[in-house]
Structure 1
């Protein structure tokens, strides 16, 4: 059945052939076709521009011979792929049907929808391959002028987890955000105590994103984050989750009863933050590397992922808007270590000054990273991403307001005590 259908399709295409391609296509149009196809070799989305070029030539040149048309296009096409040949065939066939019989509009629409769907599917598969590639291999090339660096994807991640896993991660992230927000609002209370706040039988540290329960889950999520890529893709939302952990670790101090217990909790928090930042880099760096390989290169046609570049391809590319392992991570870990030192040796003036300085600089870096990410995602027009990073920025502003409020209350209390003594 499949062979008979193919034979009928070839026969139908053959009925549209009356003149040779060379005779039907003017020389200037033929030259324009060659120039247009050469130009789209350096386009970030060659298929879209290539399709428009082909349709324009078919419309203006009166192409009638499919076999020579296919042969000519195949010589210039950027992607040596059967999918590209199919979509050119559909475009040519739909245009010929439209010109030959104006009463077959439904068939034309179905043909147009077919190659559009195939084009979208092919583009999506190529993008997924590039974004999940873990290792780009460089090959020797003989064309040192046009293709000095030739890369192909040597290995990629396995398939994505089912959407249920993404949904669970999303619920965990939302609950962590609301937990941090609730405890931030609670810090506005005037009656402060040295004991750790509790909700029922749970202490605050057990409910925070940086606590001994949630932080290991964050590390586990990031360790498998390459396959969490459907409802809640961590390549886009992972930085927000790590920033939330940073926020929680700095905003809420552990209030353990003994110094040993306090030291163990802080040390585990520092270790968890360092591991989480490294795991996040294993998610976002391949994404940004693939993004640069896709947008700043052109396909060589040797394989699906084979690209030519003018410059060497670096890990993370030049467009990486965020990195997990950064100076922010190092400063936050140092600030937490200074808290441990002050708890053990006492908060003398030099030690207290160092701790406050480290915490202040860490807060500035967290705010800088969060607002920088916000400025990157807003122009993309994605509503979920914008909501996530806007909520993170609002939480940071709320915490700055909380710190200013508590500072003013502390100054007022000291002033009131001085008045009583006088």
Structure 2
């Protein structure tokens, strides 16, 4: 059965190897800020950050980079009382930047410094050559790593901001300002690919290069001026092809206030819906799955099933699909593998959560946070230059997964 297992309802952020593209080929490998350890990827993160060793090369406060690093920082990141503020004319002033842990919500100030990053080149099939480049990173205390996956050395922000990893890769290596993200299922290794494609994935009966099709008919990225996250337009939701009765504009992004909208998040494990939207979706899914034996709710999930009563298909459990009705009349179809998550004892739960009242009232709160579980085994391409994104759809339907990238397929 292709349900994903989890030991708890909340899963930490995903740690992935980073893959970079150059005009001569793809750069593949881990992208470490410290001791070869991987970074956690945060789609909304504005910076790269990690604990840093002394001595390290700091950035002057008067530098324009210091000003950029301090734009749009999270509300929890209060200015340091110890100086380091952008624009200071003091030649001895070292810029302070603010590292944000998207799993815990904690923030810490530290030096902005230059760090070497490395990767290995590939053309999508064959290993080619190593590449090292420098990037700006924020220093953080070791304690900020708490709640991140074990072994993670920090966070790589992937947002639209100028000092995110994709922005810095494009600037330093003179490659396309785009990246592809393929989040893995349980126990697999996914991929993040910067600067272009080929996106070759092993599949049956032969490998597939998704580069061409994923660039066809891209969808617009909606920009929230209050942050650098990636929003996309949703007009409605259908459960088992039945359009839900929700108020007009329920999913709209209010750009002036920075609220509402539908946003991608690697920091949120399961798609989280504003309470009115969640109630409509859950009640509809409950009704169309009434023939499946129920299990006791597994908090925070309210709707759970006995997996022995759920047949399997190539795209997961045989349950009715949910469709996000997108701008331009297109749908994003979520089949069974995206809709249920399995826990111990033969229990599978409806893999969506409701925002609490505190979340719904929070500043910049979206209508829908589209979480990592619903992105798993789906190759997504974000083009920061064109302001678009493309999706492969669930790779299980093509007899492959995000764990089937192999950048040595053509090597001898």
TM-score relative to the length of structure 2? 0.24
Structure number with bigger Rg:
1
Higher normalized helix content (fraction of residues): 1
Higher normalized strand content (fraction of residues): 2
